[in-house]
Structure 1
Amino acid sequence: MNAILTFMKKNIKIIAFVAILSAALFSFFPKEKSDPEKDKALLQLITFVIEKGHFDPKAIDDEFSKTLFKSYIDGLDPSKRLFLQSDIDEFSKYETLLDDQILGKDLSFFDLTYDRLMQRTKESQSYYKDALAKPFDYTQEEVLDTDYEKGPYTKSTSELKDRWRKQIKLSTLASLTDKLDFEKKKDSLSKTDQKKLKKEDLEPKSMVQLEKETRENSLKSLDEVYTFMSELTREDYFGIYLNNIAENFDPHTSYLAPEDKEKFDVSMSGKFFGIGARLQKKNDYTEITDLISGGPAWRGKELESGDVVMKVAQGNEQPVDIVGMRLDDVVKKIKGPKDTEVRLTVKKTDGSIKVISIIRDEVELEETYAKSSIVEKDGLKYGVIYLPKFYIDFADRAGRDAAKDIKLELERLKKEGVQGIVMDLRDNGGGSLSTVVDIAGMFIKEGPVVQVKAVNQDKEVLSDVDKAVIWDGPLVVMINNFSASASEILAAAIQDYKRGVIVGSKHSFGKGTVQNVYELNRYIRNSSFGDLGALKTTTQKFYRINGGSTQLKGVSSDVHMPDRFSYVEIGERDVKNAMPWDKIEAADYQTFSIPNFDNIIQKSRDRIKASAQFALIDDNAKWLSKRREEHIYNLNLNKFEAEQKAIELEIKKYKPITTYKTNLQFQSLPYENMLMQKDSLLKEKRVRWHESLTKDAYVEEAINILDDMQNKGANKSSVPASKAKKGKIVGAL
């Protein structure tokens, strides 16, 4: 989970304090560029900034060393198919020494593990190639235990090779059973389905042929994985080590290498400067996978999905051959400042070579932005707003942000005469804290939205001070297990004010902490190391206006709807080093009152209880929870097939979950209908979204709740009482 919540406004003292000390500590950095010296500098700088800026910094001691050792080694080899037990024994000498190495800028542990990892990775290439060089014996009686966390490391190379063999055999076995099943169905395929296949695919194939195909496909896949791994540098792996150190303080503190910092900025703002194309690596070649709607490449209509980029040139400069180049490096060459030219030499799908000139421009990732739809039920219109994250461009406050977009969507929906709003925050991992305060303020006249507390400082109450209410009608907020951070603040505020109904998973993710992003270069004087990246560290905790934290506990839904993760532990509460839950004094706020609230909740619960769809979802959740505990796989073909058929029968039982269809019809707003006349890609995206909404039992129930809230005084503005008390219901909505 990447739930980020940044808030810079009130941390000037922390930043200034760290900056003053860092100027004194790091002014001696050598000017000559040396990777080991740069690594030492980063190690010192990161631990220093965390210790001075973190909300609750841990002592860097032997206990810290032990947990860091385990998380780092587990992360390097999670399936225990690289290191031998002898390697772990050698590494273990450092188990309680990492704290001393960090403080002493000693890189010997990292150097040892990195060198050994490179050695073992190179050796492992021969293991999978040897395993795939000859047919597997699928009549042999053997099993594979995939519970790697509890399993031991192998003691010898021969034992390690056998582990690789079994793992690859399991992979090919799964593919082989699919091929055998298709072979049986060939004769019964319809003529339409037959036309979709190549002639050679329709010809009968023997068991020998199919077995060989599975090994060839597996070899190709593993070769691609190892090609990607070969592109990783020592710097990449050192970034992993630094990240493990940072995350040992808490799950949301992390080191952002320069490339990761850039991706973070793009994810927060939803835009970047480039050509607007997505790329993927295929062996040594870089292929265009799709074009971003509205971007320069999309507007130019020359670049297409499937084109292979051979060379890249900046303006009138000579083109650079990018075949074999790392994907990240290719992206760097194609991206660039606004209004600059990049020329791509591409191989088209028909084999022709073409040079395409594109002028870089701002590219907006439309799927990261808010969108809305209208649905009718029993003659009344309702609006659904989906907000994937609380985005904002910190570098351009005049640019697009979630608060502006939500306000615009609300005004558009009001213009269309909707009688209720569903705010869909499912899978929303968070974003800007200031943005969520602005959005919450659109549903209340004024008042506190969230409380924020930094270490050794008094709490700060962040309030909506704008008395304007954009939407004062019926409101339902949808959450799930993956709604985190800023999503939880909004849901908690709506719940504490009794302004709307919270529906969805039993509870949200449970991330109640605030992170600041520190540019590391700002703390170094006269450094010649180049871009050192950034550090995202937890500096504050936030609290509901009722005083309780959302940390660990999250926000509990007023109406709990069964979902596939109902019986699986997911969220902050399941992370070992997560910060604890606590409570502070409640803020002063005036609550609203939803007439017949208890009756509305009960009616919804009754519908869910009587719903065959939700009963099936709940049963599926129990089955999935049970399946997660199964980790022993039979490598005998007949037994494996029997097990898979039993699983397939269970899966068929749950097929109605995906084929479910409501009687609701969703449509775009008028302004978007006009845009779609010129933008076929946008039209395709909205058609798909609306189709998914018609199959969504959760949205259907949210609309039912809005319907229950009608004509019961629930669409009138709040009437504040003259004497308000903390948490007391003093008004009517």
Structure 2
Amino acid sequence: MTLTVAARHAAMCLLLLAWSVTALAGPTPTDDQRQATSEVAESLQYGSYSGVDLDDDWSKRAFQRLLDVLDDQRAYLLQRDVDNFSELETSLDDAVKAGDLDRVYAFYSRYQDRVESRLQWLVDKVDQGIDYDYTSNERLALDREDSPWAGSESSLDELWSKRLENAALTLSLSDQSPAEIQKTLHDRYANQLNRVRQTNAEDVLVLLMAAVTGTVDPHTEYFSPQQSESFDIQMRLSLEGIGALLQSDGEYVKVSSLVPGGPADKAGVLQPADRIVAVGQNENGDMVNVVGMRLDEVVDLIRGPKGSTVRLDIIPAKAVDVTRTHTIRITRDTVKLEDQAAHSRVENVQRDGKTHKIGIITVPAFYVDFDAWQAGESDYRSTTRDVAKEIDKLKAQGVEGIVLDLRNDGGGALQEANSMIGLFIDRGPTVQVRDAQGRINLYGDTDAGVAYDGPLAVLVNRLSASASEIFAGAIQDYGRGLIIGSRTFGKGTVQTLSDLSHGQIKLTRAKFYRISGESTQHRGVEPDILYPSLIDPDEIGESALDNALPWDRVRPVQYRLYGEPWRYLEALQDRHEQRIASDPDFVYLEKQAQLSKRLRDQQTSISLNKAQRQREMDAQETEQLALENQRRKALGMEPLDHWTDARDQDDDGASEAGQTSDDAKTESRDQRDGNGRKDGAGQKSDSGDDEAVDSDDAKPIDRAELQETSQILLDYVQLKSAS
């Protein structure tokens, strides 16, 4: 049968329509998901601390956040894709409230179609062969977050051609042959394509809800039924496997913190802000590329039975070139309660020919055995009770002051922060909690007496969060002791988990305030004596999170002062600066922090020319290696061949002089008195508790900070005695 021109035209239109429907066909929302979306909207409006108004202004923010969730590097969607769904800018609020998700799911289908097409394009390109000569003078931008949407597929082809060449160049620099490069890249993109094709309606809902709740604050989250069912299990399993807490960071999964006492923390090879590129099982398992993989899938790959080994290909936090990776190995294990429990030791400080004892109490978390406590057992385990016992041990050994080490303590039970403050003050308020209605509840210590009234210092860092900040802030406000270290995390909000008809929602319900009226939110606690930090505050901390609630203040409450440490800060700072001017670890800390910031600020793109890339990497790594070896030389330690080797070696290797580096280090540090002069013989730290963790088990920079904090506290003791 012969078709007329009109008939052929009509048939072609039907074919095009059928292709369009097929191309956009994808997951569709269920009634349960629609209902859950409406419940989330209601929870945000009436249960959130921020009191969200779901109006057109909010809709614009939510739509922009949805674009960022889906394609923050502007690498898949085209300008016309965004334009075709632009009505969501002002209708997303109504859609969420009514559970009308059809257009949102259609938008996701358009995005999924673009991703599948791009990944198939990459697979086809790779299969045609890898024959780059790597002599191009072009560069690849590292961050396209603020780039405009591409106007055509051809312009994205140009971007992805560069990305593909860069991926091949990276593997070439790792000494892979062209055949190996081709197989690696084929498997990478084919696996990503397979995962994208498995996306279901629940996955789309989770992405949408990430955009919706992310407009409120970084801690408000929706959990699907599957996530809710495994939530408690995940919390327990975070203490198994490797003991690392992970978060999404664009296409990467980033380490947000390490569980104190966990396998990763003990191994010392993984650090906050490291990004995970690939995961391999045991010694011979294939490395699975996880760039672009969902967070829960990456977590499942990293988990495993106790005693097994997981290999992680990471981009170190200090690496400026994100194409330079480093493979580490961690043996999975279970974090025991004893590894999380407070423990103490004595730090011996040599000064004026005398040995001065400073007690160190390490508090990895604010914990309590809730089951035993609720059952009315009298001997239940808690941070406060354990710290009280350690105080008694240290007092029995005649310490002149106590340092509470809260570094890396991410918080825990509020009641424990409150009660632990009571060990150092005699009754009084500890923290204010304001709810969404503006009502303020005041928490305080009601027990008479104190466990310790002597000189006190609290050591904190960027990973000291939540309950740690409440404790440090109260000690600072009361004038009860010195706060030393780097600015804390800045998490001053309270969340609760509520059931929905389909899943759960975690809502920010309240905000913490110090007794001085200042919030701990966003700004954290600023130390009296500030240490340089290798943790980039733009990468880790509340202020680094999108839509973090702002700092503010409420009215202060009445409280008494226990001291005025600020009177001595100028003298303490002067003595501190004299000591660290020649201290290898503090010199390293300061210079490394400056170098990392400078390199990050300088590098916005990477070269696709192999020789140029090698020169740039060598220059950066030469600077980093020189800093590390400068520190090691000053401490009588063997130099390293590569700066990443510092993670794989502890500092207990023998020096050329035949003296262990710990001996050399302790002698070098202990021979300087409080004013930086040499005096007396070196002596290693001595613990009066056989079960305590000795300083020699600590990482070198951590150990240096503890020893300097002990010096500062001794300065404080002597300055107060002389006044």
TM-score, normalised on structure 1?
Answer: 0.68
CA offsets per residue over residues 635-654 of structure 1, 9 Å max, x none? 01122222222222222232
TM alignment of 1:488-637, pairs within 5 A? 488-505=469-486, 507-518=487-498, 520-521=499-500, 532-565=502-535, 568=538, 571-573=541-543, 575=545, 577-593=547-563, 597-598=568-569, 599-608=571-580, 611=583, 613-629=585-601, 630-637=603-610
1:455 and 2:464 aligned? no
Q: Is the 8 A contact 2:521 2:550 kept in 1?
A: yes
TM alignment of 1:6-45, pairs within 5 A? 36-45=30-39
Structure 1 pair 424–270 and aligned structure 2 pair: CA distance change class (3 A):
farther
Q: Is the 8 A contact 1:561 1:608 kept in 2?
A: no
Other-structure match for 2:318: none
User: Which amino acid is the alignment partner of residue 555 of structure 1?
Assistant: V
Q: Is the 8 A contact 1:271 1:364 kept in 2?
A: no
What's the CA shift for 1:158?
3.7
What's the CA shift for 1:574?
5.0
TM alignment of 1:268-417, pairs within 5 A? 306=282, 364=336, 368-378=340-350, 379-392=355-368, 397=373, 400-417=381-398
What's the CA shift for 1:477?
1.4
Other-structure match for 2:699: 692
Between the aligned partners of 1:326 and 1:572, the Cα distance in structure 2 is 25
User: Which amino acid is the alignment partner of residue 548 of structure 2?
Assistant: A
Q: Is the 8 A contact 2:116 2:197 kept in 1?
A: no
What's the CA shift for 1:60?
0.5
Structure 1 pair 173–578 and aligned structure 2 pair: CA distance change class (3 A):
same
Between the aligned partners of 1:67 and 1:306, the Cα distance in structure 2 is 44
Q: Is the 8 A contact 1:482 1:509 kept in 2?
A: yes
Other-structure match for 1:71: 65
Provide the secondary structure at the position in 2 that maps to 1:672: coil
Structure 1 pair 216–666 and aligned structure 2 pair: CA distance change class (3 A):
farther
Q: Is the 8 A contact 1:430 1:483 kept in 2?
A: yes
Provide the secondary structure at the position in 2 that maps to 1:155: coil
CA offsets per residue over residues 50-84 of structure 1, 9 Å max, x none? 32222221211111111111112212222333323
Q: Is the 8 A contact 1:567 1:625 kept in 2?
A: no
Q: Select between 326-335 and 662-671 the one with higher mean Cα deviation.
A: 326-335
Between the aligned partners of 1:410 and 1:417, the Cα distance in structure 2 is 11
1:647 and 2:620 aligned? yes
Between the aligned partners of 1:394 and 1:543, the Cα distance in structure 2 is 25
Q: Is the 8 A contact 2:241 2:303 kept in 1?
A: no
1:672 and 2:691 aligned? yes
User: Which amino acid is the alignment partner of residue 705 of structure 2?
Assistant: Y
What's the CA shift for 1:266?
6.2
What's the CA shift for 1:327?
8.5
CA offsets per residue over residues 342-386 of structure 1, 9 Å max, x none? xxxx99xxxxxxxxxxxxxx9847655544444322233433333
Q: Select between 255-264 and 56-65 the one with higher mean Cα deviation.
A: 255-264
Other-structure match for 1:299: none
Q: Is the 8 A contact 1:508 1:555 kept in 2?
A: yes
Between the aligned partners of 2:495 and 2:344, the Cα distance in structure 1 is 29
Other-structure match for 1:134: 130
1:474 and 2:455 aligned? yes
User: Which amino acid is the alignment partner of residue 426 of structure 2?
Assistant: K
Q: Select between 484-493 and 209-218 the one with higher mean Cα deviation.
A: 209-218
Structure 1 pair 688–111 and aligned structure 2 pair: CA distance change class (3 A):
farther
User: Which amino acid is the alignment partner of residue 453 of structure 1?
Assistant: R
Between the aligned partners of 1:401 and 1:641, the Cα distance in structure 2 is 53
**Which ranges of structure 2 fall in alignment gaps of 5 or more residues?**
1-27, 245-260, 264-280, 286-295, 310-333, 375-379, 636-664, 670-683
Q: Is the 8 A contact 2:459 2:485 kept in 1?
A: yes
What's the CA shift for 1:586?
1.5
1:176 and 2:172 aligned? yes
Provide the secondary structure at the position in 1 that maps to 2:347: strand
Q: Select between 647-656 and 385-394 the one with higher mean Cα deviation.
A: 385-394
2:711 to 690, 704, 729: 704
User: Which amino acid is the alignment partner of residue 498 of structure 1?
Assistant: G
CA offsets per residue over residues 538-588 of structure 1, 9 Å max, x none? 222221111222223321110111223578586434555333332222212
Q: Is the 8 A contact 2:130 2:181 kept in 1?
A: no
1:112 and 2:106 aligned? yes
Between the aligned partners of 1:248 and 1:547, the Cα distance in structure 2 is 27
**Which ranges of structure 1 fall in alignment gaps of 5 or more residues?**
1-33, 180-208, 281-291, 295-304, 310-324, 336-345, 348-361, 525-531, 674-685, 716-731
Q: Is the 8 A contact 1:666 1:693 kept in 2?
A: no
Structure 1 pair 666–166 and aligned structure 2 pair: CA distance change class (3 A):
farther
Other-structure match for 2:639: none
Structure 1 pair 390–475 and aligned structure 2 pair: CA distance change class (3 A):
same
User: Which amino acid is the alignment partner of residue 704 of structure 2?
Assistant: A
Structure 1 pair 499–49 and aligned structure 2 pair: CA distance change class (3 A):
same
Q: Is the 8 A contact 2:685 2:695 kept in 1?
A: no
Between the aligned partners of 1:230 and 1:543, the Cα distance in structure 2 is 47
Q: Is the 8 A contact 2:140 2:163 kept in 1?
A: yes
What's the CA shift for 1:534?
2.6
Structure 1 pair 214–389 and aligned structure 2 pair: CA distance change class (3 A):
farther
Between the aligned partners of 1:110 and 1:82, the Cα distance in structure 2 is 17
Structure 1 pair 308–605 and aligned structure 2 pair: CA distance change class (3 A):
closer
Between the aligned partners of 1:277 and 1:617, the Cα distance in structure 2 is 31
Q: Is the 8 A contact 1:271 1:363 kept in 2?
A: no
Q: Is the 8 A contact 2:120 2:193 kept in 1?
A: no
CA offsets per residue over residues 581-608 of structure 1, 9 Å max, x none? 3222221211112677333344224434
Provide the secondary structure at the position in 1 that maps to 2:430: strand
1:440 to 407, 417, 421: 421
Structure 1 pair 692–151 and aligned structure 2 pair: CA distance change class (3 A):
same
Provide the secondary structure at the position in 1 that maps to 2:177: helix
Provide the secondary structure at the position in 1 that maps to 2:30: helix
Q: Select between 591-600 and 445-454 the one with higher mean Cα deviation.
A: 591-600
Q: Is the 8 A contact 2:29 2:102 kept in 1?
A: no
1:83 to 69, 73, 77: 77
Q: Is the 8 A contact 2:36 2:503 kept in 1?
A: no
Other-structure match for 2:213: 246
Provide the secondary structure at the position in 2 that maps to 1:375: strand
Q: Is the 8 A contact 1:475 1:500 kept in 2?
A: yes
Between the aligned partners of 2:627 and 2:578, the Cα distance in structure 1 is 22
What's the CA shift for 1:392?
4.6
User: Which amino acid is the alignment partner of residue 437 of structure 1?
Assistant: N
Q: Is the 8 A contact 2:202 2:224 kept in 1?
A: no
Number of residue equivalences? 570
1:431 and 2:412 aligned? yes
Other-structure match for 1:465: 446
Between the aligned partners of 1:118 and 1:387, the Cα distance in structure 2 is 47
Structure 1 pair 329–624 and aligned structure 2 pair: CA distance change class (3 A):
closer
Between the aligned partners of 1:233 and 1:412, the Cα distance in structure 2 is 58
What's the CA shift for 1:449?
0.7
User: Which amino acid is the alignment partner of residue 358 of structure 2?
Assistant: Y
Q: Taking every aligned residue pair, what percent have the same amino acid on both sides?
A: 30
Other-structure match for 2:267: none
Which structure exhibits the higher relative contact order, with contacts defined as CA atoms closer than 8 Å and separated by 6 or more residues? 1
Other-structure match for 1:97: 91
